[in-house]
Amino acid sequence: MSFAIARTIDEALAGLAAGARPIAGGTDLVVGARHGKAPLPDDLVAIDRLDELKTVTRTALGVSIGALVSHHDIETHPLLTSIYAGLADGSALVGSPSTRHVGTLGGNIMNGSPAMDTGAPLAVMGAEVELRSLRGTRRVPVEQLWVGPGRTCAAPDELCVAVHIPAPPARAGSAYVRLEYRRAMEIAVVGAAAVVTLADDGAVATLAVALTAVAPIILSVTGLDALVGLGVSGAAAAVGEMAATQATPISDVRASDRYRRHTVGVMARRAVEAAARRAGGETIAIPVNRAIGIGAPS
Amino acid sequence: MTDTPIHAIHLTVNGIDYPVAVAQGRNLLSVIRTEIGLTGTKEGCDDCECGACMVLLDGQPVNSCSYLAVQAQGRAITTVEGLADGDALSLLQRNLLDEGGVQCGFCTPGMLLSATALLQRNDSPSEEEVRIGLSGNLCRCTGYTKIVAAVQRTAVEIRAAARQA
Ligand SMILES: Cc1cc2nc3c(=O)[nH]c(=O)nc-3n(C[C@H](O)[C@H](O)[C@H](O)COP(=O)(O)OP(=O)(O)OC[C@H]3O[C@@H](n4cnc5c(N)ncnc54)[C@H](O)[C@@H]3O)c2cc1C
């Protein structure tokens, strides 16, 4: 057993190559171990001091978000809460203030839960994940990262160093909504993210939708090209039906499969409507869930 | 199974350096309470849900029940004992007592730390922002109204004091 605090990315990569697991905020790893879900790995390398992975950088192509950027940083970052509002909607819903301060974007996506709140927004935005090991660096579209519940395509020696999101086109907007039974310390019953681009006449020009907690991994809705050219309300209603049809939810203590299938359609419709409002230039406060009244009032 | 190694580490709690020997999987909460002997920080659910174990790590709230003690090396840890200056309670502590925001007291340390962190980043929170700031802390006695009032009153007084300075 060993525990090391990495001072440089190379130290972290060497630790991973020697078989250690990275720990960022530990809000999945430590909490899961305490639940008995999976024992704490014998060898750990703490990556939380790697300040170079805590930056949000605007690039010519879009934005690069370091793997250690926290949910709190995302929900308060001026660029991410405006141009990438759907991602901020997701981070703002995570746990409580402490979970959002300690929990990281890298930890959220590498943990690979189908209920993760940043996964669907990143999928609809066409994000890529940068994975680094002593063997080199590669980029993987985020939708290819997840291969099953709690499983990613990353090799054990690969560290997620950043998430890259392309710049959205003009007249685009994004939103993420989730069904929750209470307004904090909640896990998505189901959720949906959407990116909508509007044509000059207000019709839908492009559309992407992804769903949370209704399949073994984040599920991207297919067949949306057929909706291009429709008005927003028609497209939103159609997306709701397609989402409910394509979902393959399970029943568990939180909801039955039938309830999930029904409500994910509602969430998908609302995500499209909110994204379209933002695409039209409207500002909806982060998280859009509160602004549109999902979840019990406080 | 390999033997759990004991790590000789230093933790800085309320500005004081404590050398401690801790097993790898040991949580920060139990080290603060049993090795360091500061029992203001409480164990409630032991599951990251109730916030009784809240401490600040470099000024940010953390559930110490689910944070590895070894990972807190080199960070400034603040517990409820660090809020008062000797016997002089902090403004927030005084206001919480004054408003009647303390009954059994079990959630109070965690509430104080979450609220302290909130007021440090936002000196004029709305009621909604206070409620969100305290959303990781459960109270089973007072029903939150008085706690929220104490935090809002403290914000007003902090701003008034800043204007006078
Ligand atoms: C009370 C509570 C409420 C929560 N609520 C929500 C919620 O509402 N929505 C939600 O989505 N999540 C929620 N979570 C889960 C968790 O907080 C998030 O998934 C968080 O983003 C995890 O980040 P972390 O840094 O703590 O990850 P860690 O626990 O440190 O790591 C998680 C996993 O990812 C791996 N890992 C971490 N960083 C990297 C990296 N850079 N490269 C490669 N692998 C890495 C670790 O080895 C581990 O397997 C909640 C957790 C708690 C305790």
Set of chain A residues whose Cβ sits within 8 Å of the Cβ of B144: none
Residue A101 domain flag: yes
A156 and A201 share one domain: no
**Rounded CA gap, A291 and B106, in Å?**
33
Last residue of a domain, one of B83, B112, B146: B83
A150 and A268 share one domain: no
Last residue of a domain, one of B16, B48, B83: B83
CB B78 within 8 A of CB B55: yes
B95 and B31 share one domain: no
Q: What residue spans of chain A are helical by DSSP H?
A: 9-17, 29-34, 71-76, 78-82, 85-93, 97-102, 105-111, 119-124, 142-145, 232-246, 257-279, 288-291
Residue A130 domain flag: yes
The number of folded domains in chain B is 2
CATH number reported for the structural domain that contains residue A223 in this entry: 3.30.390.50
B50 and B96 share one domain: no
Q: Which two tokens stand for residue A111?
A: 């943990």
A138 and A265 share one domain: no
Residue A40 domain flag: no
Residue A297 domain flag: no
Neighbour tally for B134: CB within 10 Å:
24
A188 and A116 share one domain: no
**Rounded CA gap, B56 and B120, in Å?**
12
Residue A123 domain flag: yes
Whether chain A has a CB inside 8 Å of the CB on B4: the answer is: yes
CATH number reported for the structural domain that contains residue A77 in this entry: 3.30.465.10
Residue A262 domain flag: yes
B97 and B145 share one domain: yes
Summarised one tens digit per residue, pLDDT across range B79-95 is 999 999 999 999 999 99
A219 and A247 share one domain: yes
A66 and A186 share one domain: no
Mutate to test the pocket of ligand 1, among A5, A11, A27, A138 (most ligand atoms within 8 A of CB): A27
A218 and A137 share one domain: no
Residue B1 domain flag: no
A254 and A226 share one domain: yes
Last residue of a domain, one of B40, B65, B83: B83
Q: Which of A146, A152, A138, A143 is nearest to A22 (CA)?
A: A152
A204 and A254 share one domain: yes
Residue B133 domain flag: yes
CATH number reported for the structural domain that contains residue B35 in this entry: 3.10.20.30
B67 and B104 share one domain: no
A142 and A225 share one domain: no
Q: Predicted ipTM?
A: 0.95
Determine the structural domain holding residue A88 and report its residue range. Answer: 2-28+53-166
Determine the structural domain holding residue B144 and report its residue range. Answer: 91-164
A200 and A270 share one domain: yes
CA A48, distance to chain mean position in Å, is 20
Whether ligand 1 lies within 6 angstroms of the CB of A89 is answered as no
Q: What is the pLDDT along chain A (298 residues), one digit of tens a residue?
A: 999 999 999 999 999 999 999 999 999 999 988 877 788 999 999 999 999 999 999 999 999 999 999 999 999 999 999 999 999 999 999 999 999 999 999 999 999 999 999 999 999 999 999 999 999 999 999 999 999 999 999 999 999 999 999 999 999 999 999 999 888 888 899 999 999 999 999 999 999 999 999 999 999 999 999 999 999 999 999 999 999 999 999 999 999 999 999 999 999 999 999 999 999 999 999 999 999 988 755 4
Whole-number Cα distances in Å, A64 to A57, A120, A127, A141, B112? 5, 17, 10, 14, 36
| Residues 40-79, chain B, touching A (beta carbon < 8 A) | 46-49, 51, 54, 57, 60-63, 65-68, 70-71, 73-74
Residue B14 domain flag: yes
pLDDT band for position B2 (cuts 50, 70, 90): low
Residue A84: HSE in the Cβ half-sphere, 13 Å Cα cutoff = 33
| Residues 31-60, chain A, touching B (beta carbon < 8 A) | 31, 33-35, 40, 42, 44, 46, 48-49
Listing DSSP states for A106-127 in one string gives HHHHHHT-TT-TTHHHHHHTT-
Produce one character per residue of A181-202: b if its CB has 16 or more CB atoms within 10 Å, e if not: eebbbbbbbbbbbbbbbbeeee
Using the atom order of ligand 1, give the atom closest to the CA of residue A71. Answer: 21
Mean pLDDT computed over B110-133 = 97
Local structure of B19: helix, strand or coil:
strand
A90 and A197 share one domain: no
Residue A36: HSE in the Cβ half-sphere, 13 Å Cα cutoff = 0
Using the atom order of ligand 1, give the atom closest to the CA of residue A117. Answer: 11
Residue B70 domain flag: yes
B111 and B149 share one domain: yes
Whether chain A has a CB inside 8 Å of the CB on B11: the answer is: no
